Structure 1
Amino acid sequence: MNSRGEPEDFLSLSQNNGVHTRSAEWGSLPYARPPAVPARMLTPRNEEGSDVAPMGVLTRLRGPGTINARVLRIALIPSIALMVVGIGLSGYLALQGLNTLTFAENVRKSLAPSTRFIATVQQERRLSTLKVLDKFEPANGALVAQREKVDDAVQDMRAVTAELAESAPEELAGSLRQLEAVTAQLPQFRRQVDAGTADAEQVYDFYNEMVEIVGTGIQGVARSANDAEVGFEQMISYDLFRSVSAHSRTHVLLLRHIAQGLNLEEFHEAAHQMGTYHEIVETIYSRMTPTEQQKYDVMGESRWWETATGGDDAMMSRGPGLHPVTFDLQAWQNGVAKVQRQLLQMYSSHSAYAANLAASSGSSLLTTSLIAGGTLLLVTGAAVVFALRRSRELAARLIGLRNDTLELAGHKMPDLIDRLNRGERIDINVDVPWIDHGSDEIGEVADAFNQAQRHTVAATVRENEIRAGVRAVFLNIAHRNQVTAHRQLQVLDKAERSQEDPEQLQLLFELDHLATQGRRNAESLIILGGKQPGRQWRKPVELRDVLDGAVAETAQYTKVNISSVADVALRGDAVADMIHLLAELLDNATSFSPPQTDVDIRSAIVGRGVVIEIEDQGLGMEPEQLEQIDAMLRTPPDFSVMALSEGTRIGLFVVAQLAARHDVKVTLRESMYGGINAVVLIPSRSLADADGEPAPPDTGTDARPSANPATVAGSGYDPGYDRGLVPMPTPLHRRRRAAHRQEPDDEAADHETAVTPPAEPEPDGNGHPGNGHSPSDTLQFSVITTTTPDNGSASQHAPQDPAFASQPAGNGETKPPLPKRRRRENLAPQLQADQETPAEPEPDQPPDADPPGPERFDPSPERFQASMSAFQRGTRRARSDASDTPHPPRWPGEEETT
C-alpha cells in the first residue's frame, strides 16, 4: 500500500525491488506487495512511456544464437522447395526422355513396313499403268501378285501405325489417319482399273496420293524430334524419300510417253521429276553416311545406271509427242528397277540411322534426368536430415516448455487457485515453481509464462479479497433488507390489529403482502450469497401447508389453483426452502401467463419421492431457451461470476441453488396449453415418515448485522408470519367456501356477518389475508375481504365457524379444524341485546321461508359500523388473551431457534 492507502502497481514494485521472484517471500494473505519479477523480463520504456525494443535487443534477435538464425540454418523451406522443383524438373526431363525413347522405338519398328509399303505401292502403280495402256500388258498374274503384296504391306503398316499413333505428334497422327482412309479406297480403285474405267492419269494421281501421305508422315517425324541432330538426320531421310518417289514417277511418265506420247504439260512434269531425283541425291550426298555415299558411288559407276539414265535421256531429248523407241526397252526397265531398289536401300539405311540416333538421344536424356533427380534427392535429403537433427534440440526444448506449461496450467494453477479461493496461505517458492528454459527466446517465453502465472496468482488474491468484500456487503444489505421487512411486517401487524375501517384494512393487507414479497426477495439475495436465510422447522409439515405457504408468498396468488395434494409431509429442515422454491416458480408462472388464466398446482407420490407440477397457460419459451434453463437448474452457476443481463431471472437462479441444496430435480417443459409445466421432484429423503420423524438438529439462523434475532422474536412478531406461511385464498379455497355458502347450517347462518366489499385490488392481486394467531398446531386464519381478480373469479373470506370448519372440502379432502367460536361472544352490546330474544316466526310464514335466526341483513351504515366494531373487539380480545403465552408457531412443528 502506498502513503494514500492505495495498492501499489505490481509492475512498479517488481522494477523497484529488483529481487528475483524465486527468492521473494510471500506473507499471509492478503499480502503486502506482489512478488518481484526478473529485471530481464521487463520491457524498457522510452521518455514518452511507450514500450520500445532497444538496439541491443534487436541485435540479439538477429544474432547467431536466436531462433530466427537457427531456423535459417535449418533451411527446411528452401530445401523442400528445391526438392519439389528438382523432382518436378527431373520428372519432366525423364518423361521427355522416356517419350523420345518410346517414339524412336516405334519409328524404328515401323521403318521396314513403311519401306516395303512404299516399294510395293510404286510397283503396283507401274503395273496398273501398263494395264491401262494399249501398247503394254503386264506379265500374266504379275499385277495380281503385286496387289497381294500391297495388301500384306498395308496390314503390316496398320499394325505398327496403331502403336505409333499413341506416342506420335498430331501432324504424324493426322497423316496416319489419312493413309488409313486412302488405303480403304484401294479395292474399289482396283476394280476400276480391271474394268478399264480408269485411265493412266487417274492411276498416276491415286497412287501418288498414297505415297505423298507417307512422305508427310516422315516429315512429321522429323519435325517432332526433341534433338536437333535427330531432326536433321530425319530430314535427310525425308529428302531420300522424295528422291525415291521422284524416280518412280519419272519412269511411270516415260512409260506413258513410250506408249502414247506426252503432251507438253505431262512432258514438263516428267522433266521436273527426273531433275528432282538427280538433284536431291547430289545435294544431300555430303550429308549422307559413308555407307550411303559408297552405295551411291557404286550405283553411279554401274552398267545398269548407265542403261537407265541413257534411256531417260533418249526419251527426253525427243520432246513431247509419240516417238519410236531406239534403245533396248527391256534392259532399260531392268536398269530402272535396280536404281529404284538402290535408292530405297539408301532411304531405309538413313532412316534407321536417324531412328537409332533418336533412341540414343532419348535414352541419354532419360538417364541424365534420373541421375540428376537422384542426385537432387540425395542433396535435399541430406539437407533435410541436417535440418531435422539441428531442430531436434529446439523441438525437445519446446516440448519440454509445453509440458511444463500444461502441467502448470492444467494441474498446479487450478489447485493453487482453489487453495486461494479457500483462503489458504501459499508459499510462492514452493507452490509456484519457476520454469527455467535458458536465456534465449524459448527461455524468454518461459519467463513470460512465469510472469503470467504470478500475475494470475496476484489477480486471484485481489479478486478473492474483492469478492469477499463484495459478498460481505451483499449479504449485509440483504440482511438489513430482511430485518427492515421484519419490522415493517410488525408495524403492519400492529396497524391491522388497531384498524377498524375495512377499506384501510384492505390497504394494510395489500401492504402486508408486498412486505412479505420484499422479505422473500431479501432472502433470495441471501441464498445467492451462499447463506441460509430463514428459520427451520423441527417437526414435519404437511405438503398442503407447504403449498399454501408458497401460494401466500406469490404476488398474484388469486390466479393459483391447487388441484390435488399428495398426502405426505416434508421434513422440517426442508420446509422453508421448498416454500421459497415453489414461490419463485409460482411467481414466474403467474407473471408470464395471461391475467384471465389460472396456474394449476398438482402433486402426486412417485417411487422416488413426491412430484409437484406447476402448469401455466402463458406464452412459453423457445426450445433452446428451455434447454439452457434446464441445464442451469441441473448445475447451478456461481452467482459471483454470473453474467447478469436485462432478461436474467434471479428467481430461477434461486431455484437452482435451493434445488441443489436438497437434491431436488426441477425440470421445465412445454405445457399442452402452450405455456410452461414446471416439474419439481422432491426426493424421498426430504419426506417425513408416516409416523412422524424425530426433530432434526437445529441449524440456527443467519446472523443479522443490524438486528438481534432475539429482539425480533421477542417483539411480538410472529416467526411463522415472518416466513410468509399464511396461505392466501386460492381458487380451491373459493370453491370450498362457495360450496359451504350454498348449504350453510343454522349456526353458521346465525353468525353470518354482512360486510361491504372493499375496493377492488389491482390485477396483480397484492392483497394479503389476515394474520390472526391460533394456538393450534394447524394453520388457521380469518380474513374479512372480497377480491375479484381479472379472471372473473371471486374469493370471499368470512370469519370461520365450527360448522364451516367441520364440512368436508369439495374435492373430498378435509381441511384442518378452524378456530372454535361461540355464538354472540364478540357481538356489540346493541347486537347482543337484539339477539337475547329471538323473534317468533309468523304463523302465515310460507314453507320455503328462511328458518328463524338473526335479523336479516340491514344495509344501513349503523348496522355495518356495529358489525365491524364487534369483529375488531373480538380479534383484539383474542390477541390479548394469547399475550400471556408465547406466540404459537404459524406452522405445525415450527419453533423459533436462536
Structure 2
Amino acid sequence: MPARPLVPERWRPKSIRAKVVTLLTVPVLSLMALWGHAAVTTASQVSATEQLRQINSTLVRPVAQFTSAVQDERAAALKYQAAPGGTARDAFETAQARTDRTVTALRRGIRSSSTDLAALDAALPGRVRSLLTSAGSLDERRESTRGASAVLSDYGTAVDRAFAVRSGLAGADQPDRASDTRTVLELARSREALSRQDAVLGASQASGTMSAAQYRTFVGDVAEQRAFADAAVPDLRAQDAAAYRKVLGSGAATGLATAQDAVLDAPSAGATAVSAGHWHSVAAPTLSGLAGAERGAIDTGADVKPYSLSNLGSSGLAVFLGLLGVILSLLLSVRIGRGLVDDLTGLRNSALELAARRLPAAIRRIHGGDGLDLEKEAPLSQEPVRDEIGQVGAALTTVQRAALRAVAGRAAVLTGVSGVYVSLARRSQLLLHRQLELLDTMERRTENPTDLEDLFRLDHLTTRMRRHAESLLILSGSAPGRAWRNPVPLIDAVRAGIAETADIERIHLHDIPDLRLAGSGVADLIHLVAELTENAASYSPPHTPVVVRGEEVGAGAVLEIEDRGLGMGDEALAAANEKIQAADVDLLDSRQLGLFVVNRLAERQHVDVTLRRSVYGGITAVIFLPQQLLEAPHPGLRPLPEPEPQPLRAVQPGPAPALPHVPAQRAARPGVDVRTPDGDPPLGR
C-alpha cells in the first residue's frame, strides 16, 4: 500500500524555484520563529522595565516621600500638641510645608502616570483614591484639637494607606525583583514603627509624663520594628542589605536600642528614662539612615536602563546573536538557493534545447546525408565535474552522443535499404515496362474476346505492379519514371489513378471541376489517387461503392474519396493523419506503407491530405490541391497550350464498366520510354 503524501497535491510546489525556496524557507522560518520568541520575551522584559521605571518615578517615589513627610509631621504635631511653643510650632509648620510639597508631587505623579493600575491590582485604584483622600484631609486634621491618640491614629491612617498603595505597586516589578520590593516595604514598616516611637516618646518627653496607652504603643512599636528589621534585612539583595546593615550597625542605631531598652525597663518613668536630647541624637540619624537606605533600594529599580546590558542580560545577547543568525541564514539561503535554482534552471533549459532543437536538427542533418562530428555536436568536458548537477549535464551529453551514434547507424542502414529499394524498383520498373509493351503488342494481335479479356486483366495487374515499384522509388526519395511537361485535365488524371486500383468496378466517379493539372503534379496525383482509392476499396465491404468527387474552391480544388466501411476509432484516425502529415517517415514500420507513400507525395507537391469520418460511417480522404497546381481550361489565369487529344481508358462517371467491355482501341501505357509526339506520356492504365 503506497504511503499517503504529507501534503495534498494541489499544495505541493511544482517548479524548481518553488521547491528550492520551500526547502530553504522551512529552516529559516524555524530560526526566525525562535528568534521572534526571544525578541518578544526580551521586548516584554524591556517593556516591564520601562513600566517599572515609570511607576517608581511617578508613584513609588512620591508615595515614599509622602510617607516620610507624614511621619515627620506626625512627630512634630505630637510634640507641638504636648508643649506648644515657638520652637515646636516652627518645627510643626516646617513639617507641614514639606508634607504639602510631597502631596503636590504625589498628585502630579499620579496624573502623569500612564500605567493601568487596575491591571496590576484590581484594588489598587481604590487604594490610590483613599491615599489622595487622606492627603487631602491633612489640613482638617492639623486644625483639629483632638488628643494625642487621635492625632497618632489620623496620621497613621495616611501612612497605612501609603503602604497599601506601595504593596499593590509591588506586582509591577519583575518576578526576580518582586520579593526585594516587598522586603523593602517591610523595612519601611519597620521605619514606620520607629517613627511612631519617636512621635510617642517625643510627646511624652514634652509633656513630662507617659500614659499607659502611650507606653503600650511604644512597646508594640519597638517589637514591630525589631521583628521587621531582623526578618527582612537578610532577604534583601546584597547591595541593599549592606546599606541597611550599615545603618543598623551604626553607633546611633546601637544607642537607639539602648535607649529603647531603658524606656521599656521603666514603665512608670518612661518619659524620663531617656533625655530628649539623647533620644533625638540617636533616633534622628537612624531614621534618616533608614530613609536613605530605602530610597537607595527604590532608586536601584528606578534607575535601571531598559536597554542596558545588565538589564537585558543573556536574553538580550540571544536576541542580538539570533538576529545576526537570521540575517546570515537569509543571505546564505538566498545565495545558495539562487545558485541552485540557476544551475537547475540552466540544466532544464539545456535539456529542453537539446530535446527540442539541437538533437532534432542533428538528426535531420544525419538523415539528409551530412556527416556526423560528435565532438562538435556533443563535446565532452575536459575537466572533472564534482557537483551532482554538472554530472547530470555530463550524463545528458553522454546520452546525446549515444543517441546520435544510434541515429547515424540507423541512417546508414536506411540509406543502404533505400539504395536497395531504388535498385530493385528500377529493375522491376524496367521489366514491367517491357512486359507492358509485350502485353500491348499481344492485345493488338489478339481477336479472341476471351484471350483479350485475360490479357486486359494481366495488363491491369502489371499496371498495379508498376505502381508498387514506383512506391518503392517514392519511399526511397527518388522520382518516379513517369513525367509530364504540359497541363492535363484534372478528370483525366483522376481517371488514370482510378484505373490503377484493384477493385475498379466499385469506384464511382462523380463531378470533377473542369480544371487542368500542371504537368509536374500529374504523376504524383495519379499515384496519390490510386493509393487512396485502393485503400478505401480494401477497407470497405465488397458490395459498397467508393465515391470520388471534386469541387473547385477559392484557394484551389478539393477531391474527396469516400468509402462506406466500418470507419476508424479516434486514436487510429489521429494516428493515420499524423503519419500522413509527419515531417519524418519511419520506413521500418511496414504496416502502413501506403500512408507513408501518401505522405511523401503530398509533401513533394505541397498537397494537403486529411482523413475524416464520413456521414455513411466510413472514412473520407480529402485532397486539397493548391492554386499553383491548377490551371483553368480557358485563358483566365494564364494562356495554356492546348495539348493534342489523347485516348483514355479509365472509369466514366457513375458505375464503372467491367474490364472485358473496354473498347478495343486503347491508349498507350504511361512510362518513361513511351512518349507522345509532344514529349509527354499518354494517360492510360
Q: TM-score range by the shorter chain?
A: 0.5 to 0.7
Q: How many Å separate the matches in 1 of 2:500 and 2:295?
A: 117
More helix by share: 2
- Structure 2 residue 520 is matched with structure 1 residue 578: no
Give, as a single letter, the amino acid of the residue that structure 1 aligns with 2:171: T
User: Once structures 1 and 2 are overlaid, which stretch shifts more, 542-551 or 414-423?
Assistant: 414-423
- Structure 2 residue 292 is matched with structure 1 residue 353: no
Equivalent in the alignment of 1:861: none
Aligned counterpart in structure 2 of residue 652 of structure 1, from 595, 617, 628? 595
Q: How many Å separate the matches in 2 of 1:148 and 1:673?
A: 111
- Structure 2 residue 53 is matched with structure 1 residue 108: yes
Equivalent in the alignment of 1:283: 234
Cα separation, partners in 2 of 1:515 and 1:299, compared to 1, 3 Å: farther
Render the CA deviation track for 1:17-46: whole Å, top value 9, x for unaligned: xxxxxxxxxxxxxxxxxxxxxxxxxxxxxx
Cα separation, partners in 2 of 1:541 and 1:90, compared to 1, 3 Å: closer
Equivalent in the alignment of 2:79: none
Equivalent in the alignment of 1:541: 488
Aligned counterpart in structure 2 of residue 183 of structure 1, from 125, 129, 133? 125
Q: How many Å separate the matches in 1 of 2:625 and 2:46?
A: 89
Render the CA deviation track for 1:581-607: whole Å, top value 9, x for unaligned: 23444556667789879756331142x
Aligned partners of 1:613 and 1:679 also within 8 Å? yes
What is the correspondence of 1:262-273 to structure 2 with a 5 Å cutoff? none
SS class of match (1:639): coil
CA shift, 1:471, in A, is 2.0
Q: How many Å separate the matches in 1 of 2:626 and 2:606?
A: 7
CA shift, 1:535, in A, is 2.0
Cα separation, partners in 2 of 1:415 and 1:110, compared to 1, 3 Å: same
Aligned partners of 2:120 and 2:169 also within 8 Å? no
Q: How many Å separate the matches in 1 of 2:126 and 2:546?
A: 100
Tell me the number of residue pairs that the alignment of Structure 1 and Structure 2 aligns: 565
Equivalent in the alignment of 2:478: 531
Cα separation, partners in 2 of 1:536 and 1:362, compared to 1, 3 Å: same
- Structure 2 residue 615 is matched with structure 1 residue 727: no
- Structure 2 residue 632 is matched with structure 1 residue 680: no
Aligned partners of 1:176 and 1:217 also within 8 Å? no
SS class of match (1:288): helix
What is the correspondence of 1:251-650 to structure 2 with a 5 Å cutoff? 274=225, 276-283=227-234, 287-288=239-240, 293-294=245-246, 301=253, 343=290, 345-353=292-300, 359-362=308-311, 437=382, 462-475=409-422, 500=450, 520-521=467-468, 523-553=470-500, 562=509, 564-586=511-533, 601-606=549-554, 608-614=555-561, 633-640=580-587, 649-650=592-593
CA shift, 1:661, in A, is 0.7
CA shift, 1:177, in A, is 1.8
Q: How many Å separate the matches in 1 of 2:569 and 2:263?
A: 109
Cα separation, partners in 2 of 1:279 and 1:604, compared to 1, 3 Å: same
Percent identity over the alignment?
23
Q: How many Å separate the matches in 1 of 2:312 and 2:182?
A: 24
Give, as a single letter, the amino acid of the residue that structure 2 aligns with 1:110: I
Render the CA deviation track for 1:689-724: whole Å, top value 9, x for unaligned: 64674699xxxxxxxxxxxxxxxxxxxxx9987xxx
Aligned partners of 1:599 and 1:616 also within 8 Å? yes
Q: How many Å separate the matches in 1 of 2:197 and 2:430?
A: 137
Equivalent in the alignment of 1:240: 184
Aligned partners of 1:215 and 1:242 also within 8 Å? no
Give, as a single letter, the amino acid of the residue that structure 2 aligns with 1:660: E
CA shift, 1:213, in A, is 3.6
Render the CA deviation track for 1:605-624: whole Å, top value 9, x for unaligned: 42x43233456788887888
Cα separation, partners in 2 of 1:620 and 1:418, compared to 1, 3 Å: closer
Aligned partners of 1:108 and 1:352 also within 8 Å? no
Render the CA deviation track for 1:235-275: whole Å, top value 9, x for unaligned: 545422333257669999999xx99x9xxxxx999999655
Q: How many Å separate the matches in 1 of 2:483 and 2:528?
A: 15
CA shift, 1:409, in A, is 12
TM-score (norm 1): 0.44
SS class of match (1:637): coil
SS class of match (1:654): helix
Q: How many Å separate the matches in 2 of 1:337 and 1:518?
A: 141
Equivalent in the alignment of 2:206: none
Render the CA deviation track for 1:758-813: whole Å, top value 9, x for unaligned: xxxxxxxxxx84447xxxxxxxxx4xxxxxxxxxxxxxxxxxxxxxxxxxxxxxxx
Q: How many Å separate the matches in 1 of 2:61 and 2:573?
A: 92
Render the CA deviation track for 1:711-748: whole Å, top value 9, x for unaligned: xxxxxxx9987xxxx2276xxx15xxxxxxxxxxxxxx
SS class of match (2:172): helix
Render the CA deviation track for 1:152-208: whole Å, top value 9, x for unaligned: 55444x51x46xxxxxxxxxxxx972425642687699999x9xxxxx9x9999987
Equivalent in the alignment of 2:346: none
Residue ranges of structure 1 left out of the alignment (5+ in a row): 1-82, 127-138, 163-174, 195-199, 224-230, 262-266, 319-323, 389-404, 697-717, 735-767, 773-781, 783-874
Q: How many Å separate the matches in 1 of 2:289 and 2:418?
A: 117
CA shift, 1:353, in A, is 3.0
Equivalent in the alignment of 1:217: 172
Q: How many Å separate the matches in 2 of 1:559 and 1:151?
A: 120
Give, as a single letter, the amino acid of the residue that structure 2 aligns with 1:533: P
Equivalent in the alignment of 1:664: 607
CA shift, 1:277, in A, is 2.1
Cα separation, partners in 2 of 1:727 and 1:122, compared to 1, 3 Å: farther
Give, as a single letter, the amino acid of the residue that structure 2 aligns with 1:472: G
Q: How many Å separate the matches in 2 of 1:543 and 1:105?
A: 103
Q: How many Å separate the matches in 2 of 1:649 and 1:268?
A: 126
Q: How many Å separate the matches in 2 of 1:460 and 1:308?
A: 119
Equivalent in the alignment of 1:894: 681
Cα separation, partners in 2 of 1:421 and 1:565, compared to 1, 3 Å: closer
Cα separation, partners in 2 of 1:237 and 1:450, compared to 1, 3 Å: closer
SS class of match (1:666): strand
CA shift, 1:570, in A, is 0.6
Cα separation, partners in 2 of 1:679 and 1:355, compared to 1, 3 Å: farther
SS class of match (2:495): helix
Q: How many Å separate the matches in 2 of 1:183 and 1:236?
A: 23
Aligned partners of 2:53 and 2:303 also within 8 Å? yes
SS class of match (2:228): helix
TM-score (norm 2): 0.55
Q: How many Å separate the matches in 2 of 1:252 and 1:118?
A: 18
Cα separation, partners in 2 of 1:888 and 1:97, compared to 1, 3 Å: closer
Q: CA RMSD in A?
A: 7.5
Equivalent in the alignment of 1:228: none
Q: How many Å separate the matches in 2 of 1:622 and 1:423?
A: 38
Q: How many Å separate the matches in 2 of 1:888 and 1:676?
A: 30
Q: How many Å separate the matches in 2 of 1:270 and 1:622?
A: 113
Q: How many Å separate the matches in 1 of 2:482 and 2:165?
A: 119
CA shift, 1:366, in A, is 9.3
Q: How many Å separate the matches in 1 of 2:132 and 2:30?
A: 59
CA shift, 1:115, in A, is 1.2
Give, as a single letter, the amino acid of the residue that structure 1 aligns with 2:625: I
CA shift, 1:578, in A, is 1.3
CA shift, 1:568, in A, is 0.3
Residue ranges of structure 2 left out of the alignment (5+ in a row): 1-27, 72-92, 138-153, 200-209, 337-350
